[in-house]
Chains A and B, each alone.
Chain A
Amino acid sequence: MGARRVSVDRYQDHLFNPADLSEAVDLDVERRKLILFAEAKLAEWTHWQVLGLPWNSSVEAVRAAYIDQVKLFHPDQYPGKRLGSYRTRLERVFRRVTEARDVLVSEEKRAAYVLATAPALERTRIEARRLEDERRSTERRGRLARHNPLLARAERISELLKRGRELMAAGRFAQAANDFQLVASLDPGGTEAGPLAAEARKKAGAARVAECIDRGLAAETMGSWPGALAAYRAALEAEPANARALILASRASTEAGDPGAARDLAEQAIRVQPRSAAAHEALGAALEAAGKRGDARKALERAVEIDPRLDSAKERLKKLRWSFLG
């Protein structure tokens, strides 16, 4: 009774064909069941199950289990016995066992199979480890690259270009221009960095001008004309021909009591933008402060002519006329 239960358990309620169990061969019933059961499970079982091993058993364990299985399922292990249909059954099981062994001891095939048959939890763990390994290897590659002069240069160039673009996008044009300039010098053959550097420089200049002008205007509201003048002059250093900066600087010079410089600046502004009413107005103001009323009036008239709605100029011109009349 007990033996029977064991056999039922072992074969998981597998239904044996009575014809197979009664075939006229020299094998006892237990051996027949063993062979029939193994044959029935050929397709269903994993390589691990075929060898009777837990998942991810070592190569040594696989080899040892293979020897055990082969001793059961190799037809040569039944010399001088009538095997009937069991010969083909044994051969099929033997081939399956051999296939399992071949895969599980193979350097190339084993890893993929281990992953494919892994329990869910194990699989995530393996996947996490794989990602970590990948990250490490990228890092290692980077480290290696830095130590290889040629690779390092290429790596550095692409890094600088990338950073330059990021800086451009962030509006930090001066730093971007620096990076592009560096790339152009590292890689004189490259066609990308030159124009990028020029563009960045241009944008950097404009940004600087705008920034200085803002500072100057802020100083003006504080009533500090010399501070404003210094800011506008800084803007002019970044872009000497910036009309707006020239005009603002001229105005500030006039207010700060330097009409000579104010006139020069206004004249420069007019050369850059001959049709700028503000420039002509600034020139007028500078000339007025220098006491050249007639010239001032001409300049202001020109300003109003260009822009009739320029009220500050009209106002100044009216005052000039009054004083002239008065």
Chain B
Amino acid sequence: MSEMDPVVGIDLGTTNSVVATVRDGVPLVIPNRSGQQLTPSVVAVARNGKALVGALAKRQAITNAENTVYAAKRLIGRRWGSKEVEDARRVLPYTLVAGPDGNDVRITLGGKPVSVAEISAQVLGELRADAEAWFGVPVSRAVITVPAYFNDGQRQATKAAGRIAGLEVLRIINEPTSAALAYGFGKKLEKKVVVFDLGGGTFDISVLDIGQSVYDVVAVGGDTYLGGEDFDRRVMDWLTFNFARENGGVDLRQDKMALQRLRDAAERARCQLSSTPTADIHLPFLVAGGDGKAALHLTKQFTRDKLEELTKDLVERCVAVTEKTLKDAGVRPAQVDEVILVGGMTRMPRVQKAVRDFFGREPCKGVHPDEVVALGAAIQAHALAAPPKPGSEVLLLDVTPQNLGILVVGGYFQTIIPRNTTVPTNQTHLFTTVQDNQTSVRIAVLQGESDKATDNELLGEFVLAGIRPARRGEVSIEITFDISADGIVGVSARDVATGQEQSINVTATSGLTEDELKRIIDENLDDLLEKKQSTVDLERSRARVTTAIAEIEALVPAVQAALERSRFGRDAVQKAEGVLARARLALDGKDTAELARVEEALERTLQLFKGLAASPPQGA
């Protein structure tokens, strides 16, 4: 059954994404078509107008910085004008613009404004295609992970991205919970576990009770703007500052290409410092010298100590969040049975030390920090898709990460569903009219930690209209807020006296209205059908090319022997090698036309080789 109708789990990361599945009861990562486990979450439009996703997009980022989108996850579901978006605008090489209603963020890509959900959808679509290539059949159902601390808007936008990519999103699950699932899968555990997840863009911490295959989340916490990107930015700032000092005030930030190279170098150096005490950063010809002078190079030795000094406060922020979350859970560090490290940033020795010091124990080394989240998502997808085999049942009981409430008089925030409430959940709130003959009431739904409404994230506003006219206080309206297992908020209202129900849509902050979303999905459907066809063609073409290459290679010794005896056609093997090299290159790409040309060339070479190999030895 699972072979017929595969389901996947997708870790849609800030910097890298991973797709996984469960095969024969074993969770495993599906390699992408280039054979890599990780696919960079990068989307670009090349100069020739071609859309690029993943490693191909990342590779050309330096030369095409303005049309290369990375870290879109940091923008998904965010409001235009929010602090996070304003910060991002200052540092990102690509251009952000406001959406049509002025509320959400669009990214200018290839000269067109594109919603963030669509960018993420392209990454999801790429992973889906990788999975389809691996399974050999279409894949349409997936579980997608998000940081536990994501709010409703960010979850809705992620779900929309899945739909745009043509996926039925079985569930949005939290990354740390997912990691715990992968950690505990197949083991008989009775444990209190903490997942410390420091990824490319977000930090999450979760406390779970695992027992009898039930993963009961007790508390979550986090910071959706704290991750590897921030560490890299510190390194970049330091490099830029030093460069300016050493080169008479040349500001690298003015040069987008230089900035992109700097970013790559900073990330590489930071990763390298996890295993070595020093790293050399060498960027020749980084910027033009100006006034016709020679180009400037950047050469710098970078040490682990320096990195730790530059990012000390970031690590401290992680510890502070951890402390608060454990307090919420009512758990002391010493009561925790296991600490699981997730996310590439947890490879940094200083981060590991902070965790060790806080919990007074060695963190678990048994999971792969980059893959574990996708594996957990695959396990959940599997459990939701079909009745599990005995021994592989799992049940996730997750919680809502932030208080959900409404705006009340005086600009205050009234909590209706407190954070760390097990989902799905609902809560009813009774409103009474405050004016005579009041016929409508406007309700603002917010999510956050502050008592002041303005400090919290506005999920949406709705107007409850058509209230029957009566004296003030005589009409009671019961409003039910519910949070689904995906962590997505819904609202419904009912007049207590008449029983009249009204369903309310909290305006999605994904930046896409439902109509817009439908239109994009329709457009993509045609596109997808076409792509699917071309994917199948592509795979067939690749298969033929691969066979041809193998056949030609097998004939090489015979052909060489034949050529030794011949006076002409000595260059046939060199020519054939040229053809083979071109064919291998084409295999890596997705250009069907090029593959077709290569196929032809290979066919000719094969015929020639067959002829040569079969030619009878001529007189000695």
Contacts and interface: CB of A to CB of B under 8 A. Distances in A.
Contacts of B388: 79
A80 B389 CA distance: 13
A102 B387 contact: no
Contacts of B424: 91, 94-95
Contacts of A67: 211-212, 214, 216
Interface in A102-119: 102, 107
A76 B397 CA distance: 10
B172 to A, nearest CB: 14
Contact of B426 (A63, A71, A95): A95
Interface string B178-202: 0000000000000000000000000
A176 interface: no
Contacts of A107: 330
B425 interface: yes
Contact of B386 (A71, A77, A80, A94): A80
B395 interface: yes
A228 interface: no
B21 interface: no
Given A91-B424, A95-B426, A98-B422, A76 B385 contact: no
Residue from A77, A79, A102 with most neighbouring chain B CB atoms (10 Å): A79
B395 A76 contact: yes
Interface string A66-94: 01001100101101110000000001001
A71 B216 CA distance: 12
A79 B384 contact: yes
Interface string B88-101: 00000000000000
Interface string A166-202: 0000000000000000000000000000000000000
Interface in B407-464: 421-422, 424-426
Nearest to B394: A76
A280 to B, nearest CB: 87
A70 B397 contact: yes
A76 B485 contact: yes
Contacts, number: 40
B114 interface: no
B315 interface: no
A157 B342 CA distance: 64
Q: What range describes how many residues of B lie at the interface?
A: 20 to 34
B395 A71 contact: yes
B422 A76 contact: no
A43 to B, nearest CB: 14
A79 B383 contact: yes
A235 B61 CA distance: 114
B347 to A, nearest CB: 33
B382 to A, nearest CB: 9
A102 to B, nearest CB: 7
Contacts of B212: 67, 71
A35 to B, nearest CB: 16
A70 B214 contact: yes
**Main SS at interface, chain A:** helix
B396 interface: yes
B20 to A, nearest CB: 18
B3 to A, nearest CB: 15
A70 B425 contact: no
Contacts of B384: 76, 79
A71 B214 contact: yes
A95 B485 contact: no
Nearest to A66: B216
Contacts of A70: 214, 395, 397
A158 B151 CA distance: 58
A77 B395 contact: yes
Given A67-B212, A74-B395, A80 B385 contact: yes
Contacts of B383: 76, 79
A26 to B, nearest CB: 10
Nearest to B426: A95
Interface in A131-173: none
Nearest to A68: B212
A71 B387 CA distance: 13
Contacts of B385: 79-80
A95 B485 CA distance: 12
B380 to A, nearest CB: 9
Contacts of A79: 383-388
Contacts of B485: 76
A302 B485 CA distance: 113
A160 to B, nearest CB: 47
B387 A80 contact: yes
Contacts of A98: 422, 425
Contacts of A77: 395
A175 to B, nearest CB: 56
Nearest to B211: A67
Given A67-B211, A80-B386, A102-B422, 19 more contacts: A63-B211, A67-B212, A67-B214, A70-B395, A70-B397, A71-B214, A76-B384, A76-B395, A76-B396, A76-B485, A77-B395, A79-B383, A79-B388, A81-B387, A95-B425, A95-B426, A98-B422, A102-B421, A107-B330
Interface of A: 63, 67, 70-71, 74, 76-77, 79-81, 91, 94-95, 98, 102, 107
* CB-CB nearest 8 A-B residue pairs: A80-B386, A98-B422, A67-B214, A79-B384, A67-B212, A79-B387, A91-B424, A79-B386
Interface of B: 209, 211-212, 214, 216, 330, 383-388, 395-397, 421-422, 424-426, 485
19 contacts: A63-B209, A70-B395, A71-B214, A74-B397, A76-B384, A76-B485, A77-B395, A79-B383, A79-B385, A79-B386, A79-B388, A80-B386, A91-B424, A94-B424, A98-B422, A98-B425, A102-B421, A102-B422, A107-B330
